[in-house]
């Protein structure tokens, strides 16, 4: 048990007309935060709003198989926003309408993705370089739908172009319901540290919409520090949720004035099984391949001995998974490593080549 206290406002938060039960959100991580992960995290409690992986607007409207998978959801996967991106305004508008017509309750526009393939089409972080263009994109979407529209962005393209505060102010005037801000520039990629002063500048720039701080939150204390230092009303957690899936439930304990507790071995292995179970429901045979990516993230937290973590990276069938999970339970705690082995797989090298 550990005690951390918070004097922060922990009441539900409004994003447009949506009441979000907690102030700790799941940041989208393409390839990871699909339905199975969202469901299993929600089961642990404490998660406010989750957002899907980014979906290319034109693919969504074309109803491609891949985008349909990305927006798959269930009744227990609420509240949820769908993240879309495109460098073409009418594609964004079409996708937003398409989603609203099908009952989705929140739309998030991606203006933060640093990947070349996203930026070369004028989408992702590239939009932040052109205030008029970014505003036109946002305006088109806000005017087209009645559900709340949010924007996720970085601080700017590079440190000489920190456009986020100006954009946030403009977006608020256009009717955007909240801004999520990752406290790095596009140039930084995932390197360096998060600039909380930069996030605070966005908080200070808007009048009343919530700003959701994001970046490098790995612990309960990090989340509290993010809120205290920036004044942001909520926090989005991405990689920290894979390194410690209980981070949201611990934040809920703190919000309730309780001490935080760690999961016991049974709960840890159960979590692993349930995540994989949800994955098989959605992806059937493909689920083994998709699940292997989580091995390195989960190994340390779930007490997986190194050799079994290695098998989790390679397993090929549901039966094999079950036998690995049984063995993890039997040998739980053997592992002494304190650092996750396959940490944080992010694009690397010069950003131009991503
Ligand atoms: C593997 C990976 C995939 C990501 N995919 C998305 C995405 O689809 N949409 C998005 O807005 N941000 C995406 N991000 C950025 C995260 O949402 C987040 O802004 C960033 O990782 C910093 O937060 P964190 O330190 O809590 O992970 C991704 C990041 C990583 C590492």
Q: For residue 353, report the distance from its CA to the centre of ligand 1, in Å.
A: 18
At 216 the pLDDT is 96
CB 163 within 8 A of CB 128: yes
Q: Does 129 participate in catalysis according to the annotation?
A: no
Which residue lies with its CA nearest to atom 28 of ligand 1?
29
> Is any atom of ligand 1 closer than 6 Å to the C-beta of 216?
yes
CB 162 within 8 A of CB 201: yes
Q: Is the dihedral of CA 223, 229, 231, 232 positive or negative?
A: negative
> Is any atom of ligand 1 closer than 6 Å to the C-beta of 189?
no
Q: Is the dihedral of CA 5, 193, 37, 138 positive or negative?
A: positive
At 200 the pLDDT is 98
The beta strands (E) that lie in 27-145 are given as 50-51, 55-56, 80-85, 107-111
At 69 the pLDDT is 95
pLDDT tens track of the chain, all 354 residues?
666 777 899 999 999 999 999 999 999 999 999 999 999 999 999 999 999 999 999 999 999 999 999 999 999 999 999 999 988 899 999 999 999 999 999 999 998 766 666 666 666 677 777 888 899 999 999 999 999 999 999 999 889 989 999 999 999 999 999 999 999 998 898 999 999 999 999 999 999 999 999 999 999 999 999 999 999 999 999 999 999 999 999 999 999 999 999 999 999 999 999 999 999 999 987 899 999 999 989 998 898 999 999 999 999 999 999 999 999 999 987 876 555 544 545 555 544 444
At 133 the pLDDT is 87
pTM exceeds cut of 0.85: yes
CB 60 within 8 A of CB 67: yes
**Closest CA relative to residue 252, chosen from 35, 1, 22:** 22
At 68 the pLDDT is 96
Q: Is the dihedral of CA 157, 161, 162, 163 positive or negative?
A: negative
> Is any atom of ligand 1 closer than 6 Å to the C-beta of 115?
no
**Mutate which of 24, 26, 27 to test ligand 1's pocket (most atoms within 8 Å of Cβ)?**
27
At 2 the pLDDT is 66
At 123 the pLDDT is 65
Tokens of residue 2, six digits: 């550990």
At 285 the pLDDT is 76
CB 217 within 8 A of CB 240: yes
At 114 the pLDDT is 62
Q: Is the dihedral of CA 16, 21, 22, 28 positive or negative?
A: negative
Which residue lies with its CA nearest to atom 10 of ligand 1?
28
**Closest CA relative to residue 179, chosen from 156, 205, 200, 210:** 210
Q: What are phi and psi of 343, to 5 degrees?
A: -55, 145
> Is any atom of ligand 1 closer than 6 Å to the C-beta of 34?
no
> Is any atom of ligand 1 closer than 6 Å to the C-beta of 113?
yes
């Amino acid at each position: 048990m550990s005690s951390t206290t918070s004097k922060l406002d922990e009441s539900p938060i409004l994003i447009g007309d949506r009441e979000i039960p907690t102030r700790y959100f799941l940041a989208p991580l393409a390839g990871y935060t699909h339905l199975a992960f969202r469901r299993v995290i929600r089961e642990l409690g404490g998660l406010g709003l989750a957002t899907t992986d980014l979906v290319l607007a034109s693919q969504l409207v074309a109803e491609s198989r891949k985008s349909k998978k990305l927006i798959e959801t269930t009744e227990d996967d609420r509240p949820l926003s769908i993240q879309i991106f495109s460098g073409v305004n009418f594609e964004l508008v079409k996708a937003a309408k398409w989603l609203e017509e099908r009952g989705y309750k929140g739309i998030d526009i991606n203006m933060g993705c640093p990947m070349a393939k996203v930026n070369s089409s004028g989408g992702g972080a590239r939009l932040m370089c052109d205030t008029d263009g970014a505003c036109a994109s946002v305006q088109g979407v806000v005017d087209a739908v009645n559900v709340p529209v949010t924007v996720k962005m970085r601080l700017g393209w590079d440190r000489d172009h920190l456009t986020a505060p100006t954009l946030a102010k403009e977006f608020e005037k256009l009717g955007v319901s909240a801004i999520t801000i990752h406290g790095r520039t596009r140039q930084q990629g995932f390197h360096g540290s998060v600039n909380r002063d930069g996030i605070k500048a966005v908080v200070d720039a808007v009048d009343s919409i919530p700003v959701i701080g994001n970046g490098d939150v790995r612990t309960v204390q990090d989340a509290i520090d993010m809120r205290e230092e920036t004044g942001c009303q909520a926090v989005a957690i991405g990689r920290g949720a894979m390194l410690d899936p209980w981070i949201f439930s611990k934040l809920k304990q703190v919000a309730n004035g309780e001490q935080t507790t760690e999961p016991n071995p049974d709960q840890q292995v159960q979590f692993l099984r349930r995540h994989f179970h949800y994955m098989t429901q959605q992806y059937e045979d493909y689920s083994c391949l998709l699940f292997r990516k989580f091995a390195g993230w989960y190994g340390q937290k779930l007490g997986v001995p190194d050799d079994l973590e290695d098998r989790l990276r390679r397993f090929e069938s549901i039966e094999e998974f079950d036998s690995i999970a049984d063995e993890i339970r039997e040998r739980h705690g053997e592992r002494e490593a304190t650092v996750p082995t396959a940490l944080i797989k992010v694009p690397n090298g010069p950003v131009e080549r991503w």
